[in-house]
A = this chain, B = another copy of it.
Amino acid sequence: MLDPALLRPGRFDRQVVVPIPDIDGREKILAVHMKKVPLAPDVNARTIARGTPGFSGADLANLVNEAALLAARRNKRLVAMQEFEDAKDKVMMGTERKSMVMTEDEKKMTAYHEAGHALVSLNEPASDPIHKATIIPRGRALGMVMRLPERDNYSYHRDKMHANLAVAMGGRVAEEIIFGHDKVSSGASGDIQYATDLARNMVTKWGMSDKLGPLQYEASQEGYLGMGQTTRTMAGSETNKLIDAEIKELVEAGLKRATEVLTEQEDKLHLLAQALLEYETLSGEEINRLMKDGKIDRPDQPAGPAILPPSQGSSVPKAGKRFGGSGEAPQGA
**Assembly of this chain: how many copies?**
6
Q: A111-140 interface mask toward B, CB cutoff 8 Å, 1 = contact, 0 = none?
A: 001100100000000011001000001001
Known: A3-B197, A54-B9, A213-B255. A156 touches B186 (CB 8 A): yes
A96 at the interface (CB under 8 A from B): no
Which residues 140-161 in A have Cβ within 8 Å of B in the complex?
Answer: 140-149, 151-159, 161
Known: A20-B4, A101-B151. A252 touches B213 (CB 8 A): yes
Asked if residues B7 and A153 are in contact (CB atoms below 8 Å), the reply is yes
Asked if residues A16 and B247 are in contact (CB atoms below 8 Å), the reply is no
Residues of A within 8 A of B (CB): 1-4, 6-20, 22-25, 27-28, 53-54, 92-93, 97, 99-103, 105-106, 109-110, 113-114, 117, 127-128, 131, 137, 140-149, 151-159, 161, 164, 167-172, 181-201, 205-208, 212-217, 219-225, 227, 230, 232-245, 247-248, 251-252, 255, 314, 316
List B contacts of A2 (CB < 8 A). 17, 186, 189, 201, 205-206
Cβ 8 A contact of A15, one of B53, B190, B206: B190
Bound-state CA distance A199–B113 (Å) is 23
